[in-house]
Structure 1
Amino acid sequence: MAPMVTETALELVFNELHKAVVEQSMQSGRIKTLLACLQNTLKNIEPIFFDSRRLSKVLDRPEKQITMFISHLEKGKALVFKCSTIKCWNVYEIFIHSYKLNRLNNELLRFFSIEIQENMMSTSMRSLIGIYDLSHKMNQVLSAVTTHARANPSLCTVPRLPQHIVGFNSHLVELRRRLLNYDTQVLVVSGPGGCGKTTLAKMLCHDYEIKDMFGENIVYVTVSRQSSLKIIIQKIFEHHGENHCEFHTDEEARNQLDNLIKRMGSQKMLLVLDDVWSELEFVIQDLMFQTPGYKVLVTSRFMFPRFNSTYELGLLNDEDARTLLCHYAFPSDGIPINVTDDLVNKIVKFCKGLPLALAVVGASLCGQPMLKWKTTLNKWLESQSILQSNSNILHSLKSSVDALDELPIVKECFLDLGSFPEDERISAMLLKDMWVELYNLDDEGMYTCETLLELSLRNLINLVSIRKDASELNGYCNELYVTQHDLLRELAIYLSTQEPVSERKRLFIEIHRNEFPTWWIAQIEQPINTRILSISTDEAFGSNWYDLQAPKVEVLTLNIRSKKYTLAEFIRRMVQLTVLSITCYNDYPSQLHNLSLIKCLSNLRTIRFEHVLVSSLYPIFALRNLRKLSFVMCEIGNALMSSTTEAPYIQSNITDLEIDLCYDLTELPSELCNLVHLQKLSITNCQELDVLPKGLGSLLNLEILRLHCCTKLKELPKSIASLRNLRFIDISDSLSIALLPEEIGELGGLRVLKMDGCSGLQELPVAISKLSQLEEVICDEETSYLWMEYQSDLFNLKINVVEDDRFESFMKIVQ
C-alpha cells in the first residue's frame, strides 16, 4: 500500500468513525456518556491530520500494523452503531460495550501517542474515567462468573482490584514490610469506614512479592457482624476443597483448622479477615496458631490493643483527595470553567480525605451546574454534624442521597437496601418484586434495572451478574445481584431511623442471640406503622418471640442464620403483607417451622424462600392472591411431592414459579400442571431433575419456560405443542437432551430459543421449519450448522453463536 493511499485510507476511516460517534452521541441512553468520552479523544487526535510533519511520524510504521489499525477502526464504527441500539435497562450489554469502547479508546491513544502525548494525555485519561467506573463494576461481574457466586458462596478467593486507586502505594510498601517481618503473626489494618482498608488488603494480596511467598494459599474471608468462628473456618475448608465439613463446636472447628495447617507442612498461608467488628475480637485470637509461615491480616474500623502490630490507615492527603474526587466528578472534560478551583478544594476538604466519601460525592456532583456545587457546600456549612460519631464522614455521604431528591423513587429504593444483611448479595429479582408492590413499578424489570443502574453509576451500590447471556425476553433481573459497601448500608439505615420507632416507614431490627431491642420489649401493646419490616437474627437465636403489633407491614424480610427457625405468631396479623422474603445466610439450609400461619395472609402476592428447608407447601398454595413464588437453593423435593394431593394446590392463581439451585428436586409432580394461570416457569440449575410431567401442555398461558442447566433432563414432553402462547424457551446447558420433540413445530408464538451447551443434541426435528415467528436461536457453533439448514424456511431467524468455552471468550472481550 503506497504512503498516500495509506494516509487517505486512515483519514477516511477516521472521519467515518468520528462522524458515527458524533451522530450517536446525540441519541439518548446510558451509553451516551461513554460515546462522549470517545468523541473527546477523537477531537484531540483530529489536528494531527492537518500537520503533515506530525502525520508522517504517525504513519512511519510497518504497513501491516497500519492496515490492521484501519480494520480496527472500521470495526469500531460498527461498535458505535451497535451501542445506540442497547436498551437502557440492559445492564449487562452496557457493561460489555463499555469495555469494547474502552479498548477502542486505548487503541487510539496508543496509535497516536507519539505526537499527542504532551497536549492530549491528561485530557484523554480523564475521558476514560467514566468508562473505568463501569470497568470496576465489570470486574465484579467477572469475579461472579468465575465463582458462580450463588452456587458456591463461600469460596474465599481474593477479590479483584478496583481500576482506579489513588494514594495507596506508600501504604502498600509499609504494610508488606510489616507483614513479612518474622515476628509478625497478626497484622491489623485499622481505620474509619470507607478509608480504603479493604482496597489496601486486596492490593497486598495481589502484590507479586506476597503472591510469590504464599502462592495459592491466600484465603480471603469477608467477616460479617453475625459471623462466628465455625462459619469462618467452614469457609476456609471450602476454599481448600473440603465442602462438607460441619463442626458442632468452635473448639472442634479450631482443632480441625490446626490439623489442616499442619497437613500443609512447609507451605505458607495468609488468612485475610476483612471488616472484623469489635465484638469478634476473640475470633482473631482463636485463629492464631504457632505455625511457621502462617500469618493473619485483619481489616477493621476498630482498634485491637491485644495485638501488638497495628497499621493505622490514614486518610488521603489534599492532592490525592482532589485527584480522586475529580476522577468521579469530571469523567470526560476536566474541570469546567464555571466550577472554580476554590469550590472544588472546599468540597474536597469537607470530605476529610475519605476515599469512599470522595467517590460518592464526586459522582453525585458529576455533570451538575455551579449552583448545585454551591448549594451542596452551603448545606454542609450550615449543619455542624449529622451523627455523634463520624459526623463529617456520614454528612459527606448523605449528600449523595440528597442528590436523589429529583428521583424520589430511586431514593426510596436506596433506603430499602438497609433491609438486608451487610456483606451479602441482594437478588435484583427480589428487589423488583418489592418495588412493584411498594412503588407500582413495572413487573417486567425494566425500571428496576434502570433504578439499580442509576444507583450503581452514583457509586451507591455495585452490580454483580452470575451469567453473561441474559436476553430481553428472559429479563435481566433473573441473573443480577446487588452488593453494597457497609458504610453506605449504615447510611441507609441511619436515614430511615430519624422518626420515632412507631412512625418509621422502614424498621430494621437485628437480634443477637435472644436479646431483643429495649423498645420492642417495652412497647408490646403499642402498634408500629412501618411499611417495610426487616428482622435479622444470628445462628444462636432460639425463635422465642415477643409479641409485635405491626398491622401495616407490606414487605417483610426475615434474614436468618440458625438451623431451625420458627415463624412468629404475630406475622398472621400482618393483614396488608404483600411480599414475604425468608433467606438463610448460613452454610446449611434452615428448617422452617410454623409456616402454616401464612395461610391467613390473604393479600400476599410474592413469596421468596432462599436456602431454607420447607416441609409443606400446603399453606402456600392455599393463598388465592399469590402471584409469584420463588425457591432458591432450597430443599423442597419432598414438600413438593407431598402437597400435590391437597385441593388448594389446584386452585392457586400463581403466574410466576421460580425454582433455582434446588438439588433435591428430582421430578415435578403432575399436579403442577394444574397451575393454569402460570405465565413464567423457571427451573434452573436443578441438576437432579430428570423428567418433566407429561401434562405440561395444560399450562396454556405459559409464555416463558426456563430449564437452564438441568443436566439430567432428557426430553421435553410432547404436550408442549399445546403451549401456543409460549414465546421464550431456555434449555441451555441441559446436557442430556438428545432430541427435541416433533411437536415443537406447533409453537406458533415462539420467538426465542436458547439452547447453547446442549452437547447431547444430535439433530433437529423437521417440524422446526414451521416456527414462522422464531426470531432468534442462541446456540453453540456445532448446533448452528443444524439450524442453517432451515434458514431458508425461517425468514426472520437470526442465529447467535456462543463459543464453546464461553468464559474464555468473555475474558477476551474485556481484556
Structure 2
Amino acid sequence: MDQTTQRVVLPTLFQERLRMVSEIVEKGKSSDSNKQILRSTLKDMNPVVQEIKQYNEHLNPPREEIKTLISEKDAKEEPKKFCLDKCLFWFLCRFGHKRDGSFAGGDKEALVAKDIEEKLYKVREILELLSKENFEQKVGGVGGPIRFPFGVPDNPDFTVGLDVPLSKLKMEVLRDGVSVIMLTGLGGMGKTTLATKLCWDEQVKGKFGGNILFVTVSKTAKLKIIVERLFQHCGYEVPDFLSDEDAANQLGLLLRQIGRSSMLLVLDDVWPGSEALVEKFKVQIPDYKILVISRVALLRSDMQCILKPLGHDDAETLFRHYTHLEESGASIPDEVIQKVVRNCKGLPLAIKVVGRSLCNQRSELWLQMMEELSQGRSILDSNVELITCLQKILDVLEDNLAIKGCFMDLGLFPEEQRIPVTALIDMWAELYRLDDDGKEAMAIINKLDSMNLANVMVARKNATNTDSYYYNNHFIVLHDLLRELAIYQCSQEPMEQRKRLIIEINQNKHGEKTKFLSWCVKQKPQQVTAHTLSISTDENFPSDWPQMQLAQVEVLIFNLQTKQYSFPDCMEGMNKLKVLIVTNYSYYPSEINNFELLGSSSNLRRIRLERISVPSFVAMKNLKKLSLYFCNMKQAFQNKDLLISYAFPNLEDLNIDYCKDMVGFPKGLCDIISLKKLSITNCHKLSALPQDIGKLENLELLRLSSCTDLEGIPDSIGRLSNLRLLDISNCIGLPNLPDDFGNLSNLQNLYMTSCARCELPLSVTNLGNLKVVICDEETAASWENFKPMLPNLRIDVSQVDVNLNWLHTTFS
C-alpha cells in the first residue's frame, strides 16, 4: 500500500472514543437534545491529542510539523479554563467536514465555531501527517500494530550520581547483539530510577523506538498476567491461555513478532525464585537486550552492574534537593547538614526520607537531630518512615529464616570495620552446627553477598586461596545502615529477653551508655537469656561491670579500643560459653589483665584473639581451636607451671597469623598430639621448625606460608603420615625440601609459590598420592622433571596478586 494513502491504525482506546463521538455528533447535527451528552463525552477526549503528541515523540526523528500544529492548537485554548462549548463545535465541525461555521446558532456562536473549526482542522492535519509518515511502520514495526514504550515510568526530574552507571548500561544496550544485563544493588539504591533514565535516553530511544518494554515482575508475579498485558499493549487480541506453558509459548511468538527490529526488555523488581520466569523471556531475536533489575544477583549475565552508595558530595546535593534548603531560605548551620548527610550513609532512600521529613522544619528540630546523632544514636531512632522503608529490604530473607539469623549476627561487630569470615565460621559452627571447615558458612555469606546485604572482600589473593576452605584473607564489609537495621531488629524485645544482646558503650555512644546503666540498676543481678553477647567499649568505660547473670551465653564478642582491659567478673557464670572473640581495633595490642577467668568456662571450644598481648594461657580442657592474629604472644606459651599439652589436651586447630614476635617455635607445642591443623603464617621472624614436629602424628594440614626467614624443614616431617596439605608459599629463604620428604605418603596438595630457590629431593617420586602442586614458573620447571614418575600430578602455575590491600584496616 502506498505510504501516502495508508491509514494509521490507532490504538483500541483511541478508535473506540472516536467511534462514540462520531455517532453522537451525527445525531447532534439535527438535534440539540444531545448537547449535554456531547459535553460529557468530549471532556474525556483531551487525552487524544496527548496520545498523538506521545506518538510523535517516538518517531525517528520526531516531526517538527506535528509539534508546530499541536503548539498552534494549544495556543488557542484558554489557559485557565477548558471550554466544553468550544470542544463541542470543534468536533461538530470535524465530523461534519465543514469550515464555514454553519453549525453556529448566532453571531457569537459563529465566531466561536470558526475558532474551533480552525483548531480541529489542525488536528486533522496532524492525523493526515502521521499517516503520510507511515507511523505504523516507524513505531510498530512492519506489519504490526502501533506500539510505543510500554510501562516505562515518568522520566525522573532530578537525579545525582547515576552518570557513570548509566554510561555503562548504555554502552551495553547500544551494542548490537543479544545480551542479558544484571542490575543489582541494595534496596533503595536507585536501580529503578537508573533503568528509567536509560529508557528515556535519546540514544536508547533512537535505537529501540517503541520496542521498549518495562515490566514490573514483583514477588507474586504471574506469567499469564504479564503476557496478557503485553498482548493488550501491542494491540493484539489477548489469547485465552490454557496454562503457564501455553502462556510462555505465546510470549515467545509475540516477542519474535515484535522483535523484528531492536528490542529492549526491562524486568524490574525480580525476586529470588523468579529465575524460571525470567528464562521465559529469553528468545532468539537478532538484537534483543534484557535488563534484569533485582536486589539479588539471580542469574548468569553478560554484564553485571552493581549500584554503590553515593559519595558525600552527591549525597549532600540530593539531600539539599529534598529539603528545599535553597528555596526556603532556612539558615541551617552547615555542620548540622553535614552530620545528617553522613548518617544517611550514601543511601538515596534514606536521604530522600530524611530530607523530606526535615523540609520546612524549624531549626530547633534540626539541632535536636544533630544532638541525638552526636550521642551515638542511629538515624533510624528518629524516623519511623525510614525504618519502615528499610525493613522492606529484609523481605528478601523472609523465606529463609536461617540466613536471616546469620545476617542479624553481622550487627554484633562494630561499624565501619571489616568482619573476618573466620570469626563467623567459628560462631556459626557452634550456634548453628555448621561444618568446621567453613564451607556451609561461606555458602551463606555468598548468598548474602548476592542479595547485596553484605559485600565479600578478599584482601589478598594468593595460591592458598585455591585450596579447600582457607578464609584468613576473606572479610565482609557491611553498609552501616544495614548494620543499624540488624541492631534495630535485635532490639525489638526487652533487653533481658533478646537472643542477641548488643552493648555499645564508648565516648561516641552516650545515649546507649545511659540506657544500659539505667537498665542495670532496675534490679540486681540482671538475668539475660541471650545466646550471643557483643560488648563494644573503650577506655572511657570502667571495667567494674554491673552484675549480670549470663548463664545462657554461648558466644561472647569483645570489640575493644583500649590499651588495657579486664574481663567482667560475670564471665565466671558463663557455663555454656563456647566461643570467645576478642578484637582490639586500636593500633597497639591491648593487654588483658584477668585472662585466668577463661579457666572457669569449662565448655569453651574456640578462642579468636586479634591485636592482643596474650598472657600465659590457663588450662582449657575442651578447647578445640585457638586463633591468634596480630598478637604479641611472647608470654603466651611460657607458663612454667603448666605444660602446653596439659593446658590444651584436645586442641585440634592452631592458627597463628602475623605475630611478629614469634621468633622460635613454641616449646611443648609438638606435644599436643591431638593437633590436626597447624597454620603459622606471615610470621616473618620464624627461622626454624623443631625436630619434634614429627610427633604430630595426627596432623593433616600444615601451613607455613610467608614465613620469609624460614631456613629449613627438618627431616622428621617425613613422619607426618596423615599430612594431606602442605603450604610453604612465599617461604623465599627456604633452600630445599628434606630428603625424607617423599615419606609423606598421604600428601595430596602442595603449595610452593615463590619458592624458586627450593630444591626438590629425589624422594618426591614416592609421593604417589600427590595430585596438585601450585607453584611459580621456575618451580614448575623443576617438577616437570618428575612428572613422568607421578602420572596423577597436576602442576598449576599461580598468578599472584601483588598488592597491599591486606594491610588496610579502618581505625576509629
> Which residue in 2 is equivalent to 1:600?
600
Alignment map for 1:177-576 (pairs within 5 Å): 189=338, 191=340, 197=346, 389-469=382-462, 470-471=464-465, 473-512=467-506, 516-576=516-576
Q: Deviations over 1:467-493 (max 9, x none)?
A: 224446441433211111111111111
Question: Residues 484 and 691 from structure 1, CA distance in 2 versus in 1: closer, same or farther, beyond 3 angstroms?
Answer: same
Assess if the C-alpha contact under 8 Å between 1:644 and 1:669 holds in 2.
no
Residue of structure 2 in register with 1:660 after alignment: 657
* Number of equivalent positions: 497
Residue number among 712, 716, 739 corresponding to 1:715 in the alignment = 712
Structure 1 counterpart of 2:751, from 751, 754, 776: 754
How far, CA to CA, are the matches of 1:465 and 1:506 in structure 2? 28
* 1:354-373 deviation per Cα after TM superposition (whole angstroms, max 9, x unaligned): xxxxxxxxxxxxxxxxxxxx
2:122 pairs with 1:126:
no
Aligned to 2:191: none
Counting helix residues as a fraction of each chain, which structure ranks higher? 1
Q: Does 1:629 align with 2:626?
A: yes
Indicate yes or no: 2:715 matched with 1:724: no
Name the SS of the counterpart of 1:423 in structure 2.
coil
The change in CA–CA distance for 1:779 and 1:192 in structure 2 (over 3 A counts) is same
One-letter amino acid of the structure 2 residue matched with residue 727 of structure 1: R
1:679 aligned to 2:676?
A: yes
Q: Deviations over 1:516-567 (max 9, x none)?
A: 5311232332311111011110232332222111111101001111110011
Q: More displaced, 732-741 or 517-526?
A: 517-526
Which one-letter code corresponds to 2:797 in the other structure?
A: V
> Please, which moves more after superposition, 429-438 or 477-486?
477-486
How has the CA–CA distance of structure 1 residues 650 and 590 changed in structure 2, closer, same or farther, with 3 Å as cutoff?
closer
Distance of aligned partners of 1:646 and 1:782 in 2 relative to their CA distance in 1, 3 Å threshold: same
Amino acid at match of 1:771: L
1:155-201 deviation digits (Å, cap 9, x = unpaired): xxxxxx9666789997799999xxxxxxx99896454678563899x
C-alpha change, 1:167 and 1:562, in structure 2 (3 Å) is: closer
RMSD across aligned C-alpha pairs, in angstroms? 4.1
Tell me if structure 1 keeps the 8 A contact 2:309–2:346.
Answer: no
* Alpha-carbon distance between aligned partners in 2 of 1:171 and 1:498, rounded to the nearest angstrom: 30
Separation of aligned partners in 1, 2:260 and 2:478? 40
Partner Cα distance (2:734, 2:336) in 1 = 53
- TM superposition shift of 1:129: 8.3
Contact 1:132 1:163 in 2 (8 A): no
Decide whether aligned partners of structure 1 residues 164 and 748 sit closer, same or farther in structure 2, where only a CA change above 3 A counts. Answer: same
Answer yes or no: is the 8 Å Cα contact 1:644–1:671 preserved in 2: no
Cα distance in 1, alignment partners of residues 736 and 388 from structure 2? 61
Alignment gaps of 5+ in structure 2: 1-168, 180-258, 267-287, 321-332, 350-368, 508-512, 807-812
Who is 1:30 aligned against? none
CA distance in 2 between partners of 1:681 and 1:415 (Å):
31
Question: Does the 8 A contact of 2:718 with 2:742 survive in 1?
Answer: yes
CA displacement at 1:401 relative to structure 2: 2.4
Larger Rg: 2
CA contact (8 A) 2:682 2:706 kept: yes
SS at match of 1:754: strand
Give, in whole Å, the separation in 1 of the partners of 2:429 and 2:378: 37
Preserved contact between residue 583 and residue 612 of structure 2 (Cα < 8 Å): yes
- Match 1:693 to one of 685, 690, 694: 690
Distance 2:300 2:505 in 1: 38
1:377 corresponding residue in structure 2: none
For residues 733-773 of structure 1, the C-alpha deviation after alignment (integer angstroms, 9 at most, x for no partner) is 11111111111101111111111022432x21111111111
Instruction: Give secondary structure in 2 for the equivalent of 1:197.
Output: coil
2:585 corresponds to: 585
Q: Provide the residue aligned with 1:17 in structure 2.
A: none
Partner of 2:46: none
Alpha-carbon distance in 2 for matches of 1:797, 1:474? 18
Aligned to 1:813: none
**Structure 1: which 5+ runs fail to align?**
1-36, 48-114, 140-160, 177-183, 201-275, 284-299, 303-386, 811-815
Percent of aligned positions that are identical: 37
Note closer, same or farther for the CA distance 1:671–1:46 as it changes in structure 2 (3 Å cut).
closer
CA spacing shift, 1:129–1:437, aligned 2, 3 Å = closer
C-alpha spacing 1:196/1:680, structure 2 compared with 1 (3 Å) = same
Q: How far apart, CA to CA, are the structure 2 residues paired with 1:133 and 1:501? A: 37
Other structure's SS at 2:580 match: strand
Relative to 1, partners in 2 of residues 1:132 and 1:458: Cα closer, same or farther, differing over 3 Å?
closer
Matched-pair contact (CA < 8 Å) for 1:418–1:489? yes
Q: 1:693-738 deviations in whole A, cap 9, x for unaligned?
A: 2111111111111111111111112111111111111111111111
> Relative to 1, partners in 2 of residues 1:116 and 1:437: Cα closer, same or farther, differing over 3 Å?
farther
Which digits, 9 at most, give the CA deviation of each residue in 1:649-686, with x for residues without a partner?
46521000001111111111241001111111111111
Q: Does 1:45 align with 2:38?
A: no
For the residue of structure 1 that corresponds to 2:571, the secondary structure is: helix
Relative to 1, partners in 2 of residues 1:635 and 1:502: Cα closer, same or farther, differing over 3 Å? same
Contact 2:530 2:553 in 1 (8 A): yes
Give the deviation of 1:403 after TM superposition. 2.8
Note closer, same or farther for the CA distance 1:724–1:133 as it changes in structure 2 (3 Å cut): same
User: Is 1:773 matched up with 2:769?
Assistant: yes
Structure 2 Cα separation of the partners of residues 444 and 427 of structure 1: 15
Local SS of the residue matching 2:673: coil
* CA deviation vs aligned residue, 1:214-271 (integer Å, no higher than 9, x gap): xxxxxxxxxxxxxxxxxxxxxxxxxxxxxxxxxxxxxxxxxxxxxxxxxxxxxxxxxx
Q: Equivalent of 1:784, from 773, 776, 780?
A: 780
CA contact (8 A) 1:191 1:301 kept: no
Q: Is the 1:750–1:774 Cα contact (8 Å) retained in structure 2?
A: yes
Question: 1:405 deviation in Å?
Answer: 2.7
When the two structures are superposed, what TM-score results if normalisation uses the length of structure 2?
0.55
Q: After superposition, where does 1:33-182 map in structure 2 within 5 Å?
A: 45=177, 119=263, 124=289, 126=291
How far is 1:390 from its partner? 2.4
Tell me: CA distance 1:438–1:130, structure 2 relative to 1, closer, same or farther (3 Å).
closer
Query: In 2, Cα distance between the equivalents of 1:584 and 1:797?
Result: 44
Paired with 1:805 and 1:533, the residues of 2 have a C-alpha distance of 37
Q: How far off is 1:391 after superposition? A: 2.0
Letter in 1 for 2:792: N
Deviation (angstroms), 1:628: 0.6
Q: Is the 8 A contact 2:603 2:622 kept in 1?
A: yes
Map Cα deviations across residues 331-358 of structure 1 (whole Å, 9 max, x no partner).
Answer: xxxxxxxxxxxxxxxxxxxxxxxxxxxx
Describe the shift of the 1:199–1:536 C-alpha distance in structure 2 as closer, same or farther (beyond 3 A): same
> Structure 2 CA distance, aligned partners of 1:606 and 1:167?
40
CA contact (8 A) 1:575 1:601 kept: yes
Residues 799 and 615 of structure 1: CA distance in aligned 2, closer, same or farther (over 3 Å):
same
Q: Which amino acid aligns with 1:503?
A: Q
CA distance in 2, matches of 1:163, 1:410: 23
Do the aligned partners of 2:616 and 2:638 also contact (CA within 8 Å) in 1? Answer: no
In 2, the alpha carbon distance for the partners of 1:172 and 1:605 equals 48
Q: 2 CA distance for matches of 1:546 and 1:693?
A: 47
**Partner SS for 1:769:** helix
